[in-house]
Structure 1
Amino acid sequence: MTYEQTLAYLENLSKFGINLGMDRIERLLDLMQHPERRFKSIHVTGTNGKGSTTAMLSAILTASGVKTGMYTSPHLVDYPERMVVNGQEITREEFAQAIDYTSKFVDQMLAEGFEQPTEFEVITAAAFYYFAAAGVEYAVIEVGLGGLLDSTNVIIPEISVITNVTLEHTDRCGSTIADIARHKAGIIKQDVPVVTAATGEALDIIRQTAAAQNTQVYVKGEQFSSEFKGLENGKQLVAVDAGSLGRLETSLNLIGCHQLENSAVAVTTALLLGTKDPRITIQAIKKALDIVRWPGRFEIVTGNPVIIIDGAHNPDGARVLRQNLDQVFPGQAITFALGILRDKDVTGIIHELIRPADSVVTVQPLSYRAATPEEIARVIQARHVEAASSIAGGIDRAKELAGPEGVVCVAGSLYLIGEARQIILYK
């Protein structure tokens, strides 16, 4: 396949939507002779922060001299973002080759009478093949949705990471925190340690699952902690204390109070890995965190006005985004370019994010699941609300409303963020 043919192939698969279950991915990988077993892995899930934590862990392993793969989703702009080795995205040609290779085994499955694998299942299998072919030693694998029935849950990792648990994907993972936690805890494997910042009922379920799997749980606030030490040169200074595993103070090239927690989880996971692999040192951890990047998550674009790009897509993420905005721009009204998917908690996101003094321009993310700008606008109570006919037009209008001394925040969905970054940074 060419890259263009690959995109058409994946677009055709996307019509099958999300279809949780393990039978299809297990058969597909069996036919491919299990590439996921040819490298070590770390498995990362959580309601918020799993992408940032995955990026930090990947950066730490790479800085340690370990050939490292990183698998994340969704992409912001282009599919190759999802598969990275030592900080370098897969090329379009390599991505097309990996999908083409995987598609041959999909054809075998269908000939056997198996149900059609989903787009995410095919991309996941292709990522495992690519990492194995590239000879990675470790791959940091981010869960797509939930955990228990996610197609990434075929791996047996060195460590399982559960960043946190709040309500999300209630249409697929259940309507309560307990239901969601059971899905997240589904990545816990026999004798594989777990690192988590979960609390309350979700933590109870994680502990119960870990006990049943005879494994140890490292909990933020118990076995490890973190402390904010200030801001310096556009980075935040953090201290992480992981008890007997180690302690360190470092600069973190990711801004926001939520990254304090994510970095604590990542550092503790890395220190735990370091007990088995001497290449993973405190020096390597500090080097990695000082330069790590994770686009579209409280990403500050300087200018007139200042623009913040953040993929907050659920109420908890919106709450954290608002806390960060209030901390970095205290007392300042914000102008939002806001786009939300219809199957998200639209009212909850707006309640956490928007204040009466703010202004909002609603836009439509690039997804068939997106709510229309008019639907979103009707829910918002703010100083000024209007709907835009395009993402570019909405951003331009938000900049106009904010004025050169103001602050614009583009938020609400990762499906909005990729296009917004292209418009703001490259057009």
Structure 2
Amino acid sequence: MTYEETMDYLVSLTKFGISLGMERISRLVELMQHPERRFKSIHVTGSNGKGSTTAMLAAIMTASGIKTGMYTSPHLDDYPERMIVNGKQIAREEFAQAINYTRKFVEQMLTEGYEHPTEFEILTAAAFYYFAAVGVEYVVVEVGLGGLLDSTNVIVPEVSVVTNVTLEHTDRCGGTVAEIATHKAGIIKEGIPVVTGAGGAALDVITRTAVEKQAKVYTYGREFSNSYHGMMDGRQKISFQSSTLGNIDAQVNLLGFHQVDNSAMAIATALVLAQKDKRITFDAIQKGLRTVTWPGRFELVAGKPIIVIDGAHNPDGARVLRKNLDEVFPGKNITFALGILRDKDVTGIIRELIKPNDTVVTVQPLSYRAATPEEIAQVIEAKHVEAAASIDAGIERAKELAGPEGIVCVAGSLYLIGEARQVIYK
């Protein structure tokens, strides 16, 4: 298949939707001779921060001189963003080849009577094949949804990471934090160390699972801590402390106070790995954090008006985004270009993000799961609310309403961010 034919094939797979379960992916990687066993891995899940933590870890591993892959989802602009090696995304031709190779085994599965794998399952298997084929040593793997029944859970990692747990995906992972934590804790493997930033009932579930699996747990706020010490050269200065792992000062090239927590997770994980792999040094950790990039997460675009781009796809993420906006732009009313998926907690996101004096232009993310602009607008109480016909029109209208001295924030879904970045940077 050409790259264009590959895109058509992937689009055709969306009809299978999201279907959690391990039977299909397990058979698929088995037929492919288990590419996921040909590299070491780090597995990252959590309600918020898992993407940033994944990016930080991959940057640290690369800075350590280790050939490192990174698998994330969803993409912002194009599918190849999901498969990165040493900071460089897979070429389109290689991506098409990996999908085409995987498709042969999908067809074999179907002849055996298996259900058709989902898009994400095929992407995951293709990514593992690609990473194995190019000879990476480590892959940092971000969970797609939950953990226990996510297709990435065929790996047996060197470290399991659970950044935090809040209410999300309640239709698939349960209606309580404890039930959702059970899915997140599903990535914990026998004897494999766990790094977590979870607390309360979620931490109870994670700790209990780890005890059952005889897995050592490193908990944020107990075994390690992190503190913010201002800005330097456009980066956040942080100080990581742990009586068991060591102390390190660093600068983080990602903005937003939530990145203090995410960098703590990345540093703790790297130091756990360093107990076995001496290539992972303090210098490498500092270099990785100083150079890491992760678009679409409190991404500031200078101009008139200033634009902030952030996924903020659940209430907790929206709360953090609002806190960052209020602290970085004190006293400013915000003009939002807001798009949310229908299966998310739309009301909860709006409650945490929007204030009465804000202005909101609603848009529709590029997903079949997206709520319409009119549906979102109906539940917003703000100074001014209107629906836009497209993402492009919505951003332009938000800029107009904000004025040259205002602040525009594009938020509500990662499926919105890719198109928004194309519009903003054109």
TM-score by length of 1: 0.99
Q: Map 1:229-308 onto structure 2 (within 5 A).
A: 229-308=229-308
CA distance in 1, matches of 2:370, 2:155: 32
Aligned equivalent of 1:36: 36
What amino acid does structure 2 have at the position aligned with 1:111?
A: T
Query: Is residue 126 of structure 1 aligned with residue 130 of structure 2?
Result: no
What's the CA shift for 1:331?
1.1
Question: Which residue identity does 1:279 align to in structure 2?
Answer: R
Cross-structure match for 1:115: 115
Q: Distance in 1 between matches of 2:364 and 2:25?
A: 32
Equivalent in the alignment of 2:331: 331
For 1:46 and 1:31, how far apart are their aligned partners in 2? 30
Which whole-Å deviations, capped at 9, do the CAs of 1:202-261 have from their partners, x for residues lacking one?
Answer: 000000000000011000000000000001222111111122211111111001111000
Q: Letter of the 2:140 partner, please give it.
A: V
> What does residue 391 of structure 1 align with?
391
Match in the other structure for 1:167: 167
Equivalent residue of 1:15, what SS? Answer: helix
Alignment of 1:90-109 (within 5 A): 90-109=90-109
Structure 1 counterpart of 2:192, which letter? Answer: V
2:356 matches 1:363: no
Residue 361 of structure 2 aligns to which amino acid in structure 1?
A: V
**Residues in 1 aligned to 2:219 and 2:31: alpha-carbon distance in whole angstroms:** 38
User: In structure 1, how many angstroms separate the alpha carbons of the residues matched to 2:382 and 2:113?
Assistant: 54
**What is the distance in 2 between the residues matched to 1:190 and 1:403?**
56
Corresponding residue number in structure 2 for 1:84: 84
Residue 136 (structure 2) aligns with: 136
SS at 1:186's partner residue? helix
- 3-state SS of 2:16 partner: coil
- Please give the secondary structure, in 1, of the residue aligned with 2:66: coil
Does structure 1 residue 154 correspond to structure 2 residue 162? no
Q: 1:80-112 deviations in whole A, cap 9, x for unaligned?
A: 000000000001000000000000011111111
Q: CA deviation at 1:133?
A: 0.3
Which amino acid in 2 is paired with 1:47?
A: S
Partner residue in 1 for 2:314: 314
Structure 2 CA distance for aligned equivalents of residues 352 and 314 of structure 1? 9
Deviations 1:287-344 (A, max 9, x none): 1101100000000000000000000010000000000001100111000000011111
Post-superposition offset of 1:11: 1.0
What is the CA–CA distance in structure 2 between the aligned matches of 1:107 and 1:384, rounded to whole Å? Answer: 52
Distance 2:406 2:12 in 1: 43
| 1:376 match | 376
Letter in 1 for 2:394: G
1:359-409 superposed Cα distances (whole Å, 9 cap, x missing partner):
000011111111111111111111111111111111011001111111000
Identity of aligned residues (%): 72
Aligned partner of residue 201 in structure 1, secondary structure: helix
| 1:46 matches 2:36 | no
Give the aligned partner of residue 222 of structure 2. 222
Q: Which amino acid aligns with 2:253?
A: N
Amino acid at match of 2:333: A
Q: What is the CA deviation profile of residues 272-294 of structure 1, one whole-angstrom value per residue up to 9, with x for unaligned ones?
A: 11111111000000011011000
The root-mean-square deviation of aligned C-alpha atoms, in Å, is 0.6
The 3-state SS of whatever aligns with 1:289 is: helix
- Structure 1 Cα separation of the partners of residues 95 and 31 of structure 2: 20
**SS state at 1:175 partner:** coil
Q: Deviations over 1:113-156 (max 9, x none)?
A: 11101100000000000000010000000000000000000111
Aligned to 2:348: 348
* Alignment correspondent of 1:4: 4
- The secondary structure found in structure 1 opposite 2:237 is strand
Q: TM-score, normalised by structure 2?
A: 0.99
Instruction: Indicate the SS of the match to 2:348.
Output: helix
Q: Which moved more, 1:236-245 or 1:284-293?
A: 236-245
SS of 1:336's equivalent in the other structure is strand
Read off the aligned partner of 1:124 and give its amino acid letter: T
Corresponding residue number in structure 2 for 1:58: 58
Q: Structure 1 counterpart of 2:202, which letter?
A: A
1:278 and 1:255 map into 2 onto residues whose CA distance is 29
Q: 1:37 and 1:122 mapped to 2: Cα distance?
A: 17
Separation (CA, whole Å) in 2 of partners of 1:72 and 1:31:
23
Counterpart amino acid of residue 332 in structure 2: Q
Aligned partner of 2:72 in structure 1 is: 72
The aligned counterpart of 1:405 is 405
What count of residue pairs does the alignment treat as equivalent? 426
Who is 2:204 aligned against? Answer: 204
Matches of 1:270 and 1:313, distance apart in 2: 27
